[in-house]
Amino acid sequence: MSDAIGIEIKDVSHAYGGRSAALNALEHINLSIPQNEFHALLGPSGCGKSTLLYLLGGFLPVQSGTITTPRGTVTGPAPERGIVFQNFALFPWKTVLQNVLYGLQKRGGLTKAEREAKARDFIDLVHLNGFENAYPSQLSGGMQQRAAIARTLAVDPEILLMDEPFGALDAQTRRVMQEELLAIWKRSRKTVVFVTHDVQEAVFLADRISIMSARPGRIEHVIPSNFNREGGEEVLTKPEFLQLSEHIWHLVREQAIAATRGVH
């Protein structure tokens, strides 16, 4: 993990709707994420995790406060910030290779042969070689998400934003994808912001975990994962993993209870 700042969020608030019926989604968010850090966002449903991610991606306008990266102030989408959604977001009429090529074609600067070679490299990275000519409907959910990750990584974003990317997968596939994502991150060392509802997923993947409050979302706690995460699934049985998961679960539960009671 680098000492340089990858993402700086300063006093960011966001509301939906007009003045007469404004819904305050986020309130005074302050967070610094170092370059190359894998950072998870946890919190009760409706706390604004996805809203914050879309602000980071530039898909929503920053109404109050500032978000900056090494490239400058975030004012809209940009190639250095790639996003992976829960619903895969693949073009159903394109093959795996064509889907991965799409961003490279949009970005330009490479020959056709260079684009195809790069696309095939990332298809290989996510273990989809042999499925280059398959359409999304011919793939399992986990394979579709691998293709979506390959398409995002192929354009070489400096920051990878992930909105519950494994939420629609079965438990076994989800665990495999978590291990594969961690392996990809260790090789590429992108700055990652990962939204999840799953405490153990956050502890398994992230260097640090931000716990958000009930709406309007605020950063209540930032918890480091100070244990050795090497060893794949074996990590899940380590006492320090279980203790940290339990501690974070209680913090998230407090916010979930507050959400049901309307406590702010």
DSSP states of 68-136: EETTEE--S--TTEEEE-TT----TTS-HHHHHHHHHHHH--S-HHHHHHHHHHHHHHTT-TT-TT--G
pLDDT at 74: 96
Share of the chain residues as helix, strand and coil, in percent rounded to the nearest 5: 40, 25, 35
What gap in Å lies between CA 227 and CA 204, rounded to an integer? 10
| Architecture field, domain 5-80+158-261 | 3-Layer(aba) Sandwich (3.40)
What gap in Å lies between CA 158 and CA 136, rounded to an integer? 26
Domain residue limits, the chain: 5-80+158-261, 90-156
CA contacts within 13 A on the Cβ side of 42:
29
Residue 198's H or E segment, with its range, is none
pLDDT at 234: 83
The two three-digit tokens of residue 6, written as one number: 């990858």
For the chain, the average pLDDT equals 90
pLDDT (average), residues 77-96: 89
What pLDDT band is residue 189 in, cutting at 50, 70 and 90? confident
pLDDT at 18: 61
Query: With the C-alpha atoms ordered 4, 32, 89, 256, is the resulting torsion angle positive or negative?
Result: positive
The answer to whether the pTM exceeds 0.85 is yes
Buried-state track 159-182, b at ≥16 Cβ within 10 A, e below 16: bbbbbbbbebbeeebbbbbbebbb
Residue from 252, 235, 154, 254 nearest 199 by CA? 252
pLDDT (average), residues 59-68: 95
What gap in Å lies between CA 149 and CA 125, rounded to an integer? 10
Asked if 194 and 39 count as a contact pair (C-beta separation under 8 A), the reply is: yes
Cβ neighbors of 231 (< 8 A, separation 6 or more) are: none
244-256 confidence digits (pLDDT tens): 999 999 999 888 8
The two three-digit tokens of residue 136, written as one number: 């999304």
24-58 confidence digits (pLDDT tens): 899 999 999 999 999 999 998 888 999 999 999 99
What pLDDT band is residue 236 in, cutting at 50, 70 and 90? confident
Task: Based on DSSP, count helices (H) and strands (E) in the chain, helices before strands.
Answer: 7, 10
Rounded to whole angstroms, what are the CA distances from 238 to 174, 182, 204, 233, 247? 20, 18, 11, 10, 14
What gap in Å lies between CA 245 and CA 240, rounded to an integer? 8
pLDDT at 227: 77
| pLDDT above 70 for 1 | no
pLDDT (average), residues 228-242: 83
pLDDT at 22: 72
Cβ neighbors of 137 (< 8 A, separation 6 or more) are: 92
Residue from 169, 173, 237 nearest 204 by CA? 237
pLDDT (average), residues 189-193: 94
Residue from 41, 27, 39, 250 nearest 164 by CA? 41
